Amino acid sequence: MSERKKLLQVIDLKLHFPIYGGLLRRQVGAVKAVDGVTFDIFEGETLGIVGESGCGKSTAGRAVLRLYETTAGSILIDGVDIATLSQEELRKKRPAMQMVFQDPQASLNPRMTVAGIIGEPLDEHTNWPRAKKLERIYELMDAVGLNRDFANRYPHAFSGGQRQRIGIARALALNPRFIVCDEPIAALDVSIQAQVVNLLEELQEQFGLTYMFISHDLSMVRHIADRVAVMYLGKIVELAPVSRLYDHPAHPYTEALLSAVPEPDPSLERRKDRIVLQGDVPSPANPPKGCNFCTRCPKVMDICRETEPVTVEVAPGHFAACHLIPQTAGQTGGAEVEHNQTRIQQGEVV
Ligand code: SF4
């Protein structure tokens, strides 16, 4: 993985929404929706982003495409920091980076035909003659499995799955290299979720796409992602290759999320220990002192309420931020860390 080219490098990205109050409408605080996240996405890979509602994953996806103005940090695409580009320079970069939205119903203009919707980015970014645009629209409809005969129909005539195919075709119109898929299957019937995920995988293979796949569905993320980042209250608390994360989670929040994923095998499901988190995610306008997760963590210690844990490399390519992980984790290796975690849980000081 380390020899592969990094398409995207996000460094200490922050997105704070100001809160105004008082008679003079002065800024009295900020909602720290994304609060210092750092990660890379390699060319051709899928990075899954998981976490509960309100953890900042969708905001991070939009911030990475600069659909929101960022508060601090860098977003390097091919080495160019798009966080600092002017609107005109950003417009030139737009074709390379696109988004597939959660709710195809809400993201498609009901007054435009399918051809109009899919061709909109071509109208915006090319001077192609009408015939060439129409040929491209047909090509895209073929690529996502939509019948060309439906090009003049309106979105309401389609099912949820077909509408999402229209949204995907629109995202592909300008030959992007990078697509943020923001909960692309959450609004769809379970029966067609797998079809849409399979289509995304086929298109990735066909066009060499790189995905940031945002979802709260950990089973689907396990299926599609190469690596996974777990977000909690605006921060990445753990990031690892997919099999490593699901088989050896290092952070108590990841453990809790995984414990809630149903097992297909009923006998395994019966034996599984669920970790039920108490309380709600705290407000990102007023995060707790120390570790963000300290108000709900089943393994909380005194230090967690005082000091924010630093991110350490638990094993090659596996990062987590938790005081249970010794600072020397990267040098000692994952097995050693797991052993140390057990010792800490048993009351020993490692
Ligand atoms: Fe839990 Fe403490 Fe680790 Fe935070 S640092 S996840 S509160 S054990």
Instruction: Give the C-alpha separation, 175 to 169, whole Å.
Output: 10
- Show me where the domains of the chain are located: 242-350
Q: Is the dihedral of CA 227, 292, 81, 167 positive or negative?
A: positive
Question: Burial of 17 by CB count in 10 Å (0-12 exposed, 13-18 middle, 19+ buried)?
Answer: middle
Instruction: Give the C-alpha separation, 127 to 209, whole Å.
Output: 25
Spell out where 63-164 has E strands: 72-77, 80-81, 97-100
Residue 131 to residues 20, 118, 119, 136, Cα–Cα distance (Å):
51, 14, 11, 9
As given in the structure block, the two tokens for residue 273 are: 């220990």
pLDDT digits (tens, 9 = 90+) for 103-120: 877 889 999 999 999 999
pLDDT digits (tens, 9 = 90+) for 120-157: 999 999 999 999 999 999 999 999 999 999 999 999 99
Nearest to 318 by CA among 214, 238, 226: 238
Closest ligand 1 atom to residue 304 Cα is 2
Pocket probe mutation, ligand 1, options 278, 294, 311, 342, max atoms within 8 Å of Cβ? 294
Ligand 1 site, residue 320, Cβ cutoff 6 A: no
The confidence score (pLDDT) of residue 329 equals 63
Could you tell me which residues come within 8 angstroms of residue 324 by beta carbon, excluding any fewer than 6 positions away? 250, 252, 299, 301, 341, 344, 345
**Any idea which of 87-91, 179-183, 305-309, 340-344 has the lowest mean pLDDT?**
340-344
The neighbour count for residue 268, using CB atoms within 10 Å, is 10
- The residue-averaged pLDDT of 16-35 equals 92
Q: How confident is the model at residue 285 (pLDDT cuts 50, 70, 90)?
A: very high
Instruction: Judge contact between 145 and 90, C-beta under 8 A.
Output: no
Residue 109 to residues 106, 155, 184, 291, Cα–Cα distance (Å):
8, 8, 17, 43
Ligand 1 site, residue 90, Cβ cutoff 6 A: no
Ligand 1 site, residue 325, Cβ cutoff 6 A: no
Pocket probe mutation, ligand 1, options 236, 289, 304, 312, max atoms within 8 Å of Cβ? 304
- The residue-averaged pLDDT of 183-208 equals 93
The confidence score (pLDDT) of residue 330 equals 56
Greater confidence, 345 or 169? 169
The mean pLDDT value of the chain amounts to 90
- Does residue 225 have a pLDDT over 60? yes
Nearest to 213 by CA among 232, 195, 200: 200
Distance in Å, CA 76 to ligand 1 centroid: 31
